[in-house]
Structure 1
Amino acid sequence: MYIGKVDGVEFEIKPSQTILEAAISSGITLPYGCRSGSCGSCKATIIEGEVFHEDIIPGVLTDQDRSEQNFLLCKTYATSDVTIASLVEKKPDEFPKKITPVRVEKLNLLNHDVMQILLKLPAGENLQFKAGQYLEFILKDGARRAFSMANAPSDDLIELHVRLIEGGTFTNYVFNEMKEKSIHRIEAPIGNFYLRESDRPMIFVAGGTGFAPIKSIINDCHRAGVERKIYLYRGFKTHKDLYQDEVVENWKKNINNFEAINIYSEEVVNGQEKSLVHKKVIKDLGRLDLFDVYCCGAPGMIEVAYKEFVEAGLNPNSFYSDAFTFAQK
């Protein structure tokens, strides 16, 4: 057993716990988001002590972070007593997390393996969040499942895109047992994936249901009158995986400075060559030093995209990501 200290408050850390898990179980509030090492919300400095840090997606921590003893607490284990200084401070425009009941208003099958869930909050309740953030379903056994919110903050209903995962207990429940009008509990908002202030053109890269938070951001940008150039690249394996293309077509008609393309890695569609989505971005746009990139999808896609985008000139600090990891139970 080790002792952790943050802001003068001590807490116990078991060898089997990450520092974040230990802090939460002791009732200490630290910033966090995904709890899987992809969002960067729990970044902190280890002032004193020794730790072991698991591998994470490249780009979440910079070389400078590592040299300054900055770590992600959700992936860090103490190997001695430690003193921690949190780097992520609460901003005035951030919204507090809350747990609330929701009702399933509508279930819509969007393609062969993506279900749209529309959730309604209780009368008089509203959920304030930044476009791009996510929520967690709180299951009966206390387990949680995270899904990005696809609706804009001004929308009345919460929209989720749930992909059916082979062997995934919760996603199988969604597809086979979840009923309209059923009541569930969620906690939100969570996450560090949202639009940053800038005047640079934006590239949005979505793998599969990684489209959900990007849909939220683009709709929010449109309603707020953001005039920055937007490029949207959506990656799929085959054409049958495409969904909500009508949403993108509507954006093409109504949003100035907006371009979008669907990329397929395993099928030629309308004469378009097969490609990985990140490679198509580089082929089309070349040097990326003048862009901000928002990338959402599987961790492997984000890892490769980050590496090759930086090689194409992207400033590492202009790459923002949300990696989707899938629970099997």
Structure 2
Amino acid sequence: MTPTTAAAPPFKITVQPSGRSFEASEGEAILSAGIRQGIGLPYGCKDGACGSCKCKMLEGRVEHGPHQSKALSAEEEAAGLILTCCGVPLSDVVLESRQVTDESAFPIKRMPARVSSLAKVSHDVMVVRLQLPANDTMRYHAGQYVEFLLRDGARRSYSMANAPHTAGGQPGAVPPVGPSVELHIRHMPGGKFTDHVFGAMKEKEILRIEGPYGSFFLREDSDKPIVLLASGTGFAPIKAVIEQLQFKASTRSATVYWGGRRPADLYMDAWLREKLAEMPNLRYVPVVSNALPEDNWTGRTGFVHRAVLEDLPDLSGHQVYACGAPIVVDSARTEYSAAAGLPPEEFFADAFTSEADKAQP
């Protein structure tokens, strides 16, 4: 009779200060285990490339899989920081992540979604609206995202650009009407998914999505003034947060800094200016980094995250919500803390890490 080898017992992962806990199976990364059990740990790429999931390990031992040094340096690892996306526990682990709250634990659902409309709003940005099933409502926070499940097993992540209250839906109607979500998809030439979006995709096409994911959403338990920092299509979740602020009749001061290479990259500039007229506490600072003479640009220039520091050299009393290219998000995180006194726990971020970013050595 051949003896059987018992599976190793799962390790307990505890997240402070929320006190929430979950179990990780043998060989399972902490982030995967957390997502599986509805714990809203922060993350971006899930491939060790962006550093968005980095957090402090208070107790325990973790073994890291392959990752980029820009996401976690040897010095940071020696100081007790880990990447939950590729960190596999070797014991029970206690983490510190102030972004984990009970609020973020909306159930993650997998469902079909029908393309209800396609609108090209710039040369490389498509606004895609998806109709969700009427009988399977997905609850989400303004700022969270969904993942497309592609046929080959690959996934692509896109933020919802509309706040939950705008999603609509009438499950009791005849026929029932499901909610809809808005996505802003930038064309990455050669990218199999975005080539499809900008080429063969048609209305009524059925896709499969999973969500909501992410810890990037408005913290409504604070009255601190807000900086909303976006680059490119990082504006999508910022748009949802703006809609949420308006819906809640928030009196908090909020300033949007939106950066693009050229003015056309600010593809919803007109929408944002309309909101300024409706929301007295909202300000908007567009920033362009590579304007050409024919653009006739007379506004702010340079790096969008630097424009914030020029206007607000003291961020110690603010909250910052940043979304866009990893270089923008990472630079803002570092410089706002070091140069402007922003408390690290008041910086909330989603970095858009493309397949090209992940492929870098």
Same fold (TM over 0.5): yes
**How far did 1:87 drift?**
5.6
Match of 2:342 among 308, 314, 322: 314
1:299 lines up with 2:326 in the alignment: yes
Q: Whole-Å Cα distance in 2 between the matches of residues 90 and 229 of structure 1? A: 24
Equivalent residues in 2 for 1:55-134, closer than 5 Å? 55=68, 69=80, 71-77=82-88, 81-85=90-94, 91=102, 94-134=105-145
Equivalent residues in 2 for 1:182-261, closer than 5 Å? 182-196=205-219, 197-261=221-285
In the alignment, residue 203 of structure 1 is paired with which amino acid? V
Match of 2:187 among 160, 164, 168: 164
In the alignment, residue 171 of structure 1 is paired with which amino acid? T
Instruction: Please list the CA deviations of residues 287-317 of structure 1 after superposition, one character each: whole Å capped at 9, or x if unmatched.
Output: 2222111110111111111222121222222
- Give the secondary structure class of the aligned counterpart of 2:349: strand
**How far did 1:250 drift?**
1.2
The residue aligned with 1:181 is 204
**How far did 1:90 drift?**
6.0
Q: In the superposition, relative to structure 1, how do residues 48 and 93 fare at CA in structure 2: closer, same or farther (>3 Å)? A: closer
- Give the secondary structure class of the aligned counterpart of 2:243: helix
* Equivalent pair of 1:39/1:192 in contact (CA under 8 Å): no
Q: In the superposition, relative to structure 1, how do residues 166 and 86 fare at CA in structure 2: closer, same or farther (>3 Å)? A: same
In the alignment, residue 307 of structure 2 is paired with which amino acid? K
- Give the secondary structure class of the aligned counterpart of 2:258: strand
- Give the secondary structure class of the aligned counterpart of 1:7: strand
The residue aligned with 1:51 is 63
* Equivalent pair of 1:134/1:147 in contact (CA under 8 Å): yes
* Equivalent pair of 1:4/1:83 in contact (CA under 8 Å): no
In the alignment, residue 141 of structure 1 is paired with which amino acid? D
In the alignment, residue 51 of structure 1 is paired with which amino acid? E
Q: In the superposition, relative to structure 1, how do residues 300 and 10 fare at CA in structure 2: closer, same or farther (>3 Å)? A: closer
* Equivalent pair of 1:115/1:175 in contact (CA under 8 Å): yes
1:278 lines up with 2:305 in the alignment: yes
* Equivalent pair of 2:110/2:211 in contact (CA under 8 Å): yes
* Equivalent pair of 1:97/1:188 in contact (CA under 8 Å): yes
1:7 lines up with 2:12 in the alignment: yes
1:287 lines up with 2:301 in the alignment: no
The residue aligned with 2:149 is 138
Deviates more, 1:283-292 or 1:268-277: 268-277
**How far did 1:213 drift?**
0.4
The residue aligned with 1:326 is 354
Q: Whole-Å Cα distance in 2 between the matches of residues 308 and 210 of structure 1? A: 19
Instruction: Please list the CA deviations of residues 191-212 of structure 1 after superposition, one character each: whole Å capped at 9, or x if unmatched.
Output: 0001112111101010000000
**How far did 1:74 drift?**
0.4
* Equivalent pair of 1:150/1:212 in contact (CA under 8 Å): yes
Q: In the superposition, relative to structure 1, how do residues 29 and 209 fare at CA in structure 2: closer, same or farther (>3 Å)? A: closer
Q: Which runs of 5+ in 2 are unaligned?
A: 1-6, 14-22, 169-179
Q: In the superposition, relative to structure 1, how do residues 177 and 207 fare at CA in structure 2: closer, same or farther (>3 Å)? A: same
**How far did 1:41 drift?**
6.2
**How far did 1:19 drift?**
5.0
Q: Which runs of 5+ in 1 are unaligned?
A: none
* Equivalent pair of 2:229/2:258 in contact (CA under 8 Å): yes
**How far did 1:92 drift?**
5.2
Q: TM-score, normalised by structure 2?
A: 0.78
Q: Whole-Å Cα distance in 2 between the matches of residues 276 and 176 of structure 1? A: 32
Deviates more, 1:161-170 or 1:82-91: 82-91
In the alignment, residue 353 of structure 2 is paired with which amino acid? T
Count the aligned residue pairs: 317
**How far did 1:84 drift?**
3.0
**How far did 1:58 drift?**
7.3
* Equivalent pair of 1:44/1:73 in contact (CA under 8 Å): no
Cα RMSD between the aligned structures?
A: 3.2
Q: In the superposition, relative to structure 1, how do residues 180 and 82 fare at CA in structure 2: closer, same or farther (>3 Å)? A: same
* Equivalent pair of 1:99/1:185 in contact (CA under 8 Å): yes
- Give the secondary structure class of the aligned counterpart of 1:218: helix
Instruction: Please list the CA deviations of residues 225-258 of structure 1 after superposition, one character each: whole Å capped at 9, or x if unmatched.
Output: 1110010010000112220112101111000211
Q: Whole-Å Cα distance in 2 between the matches of residues 202 and 90 of structure 1? A: 20
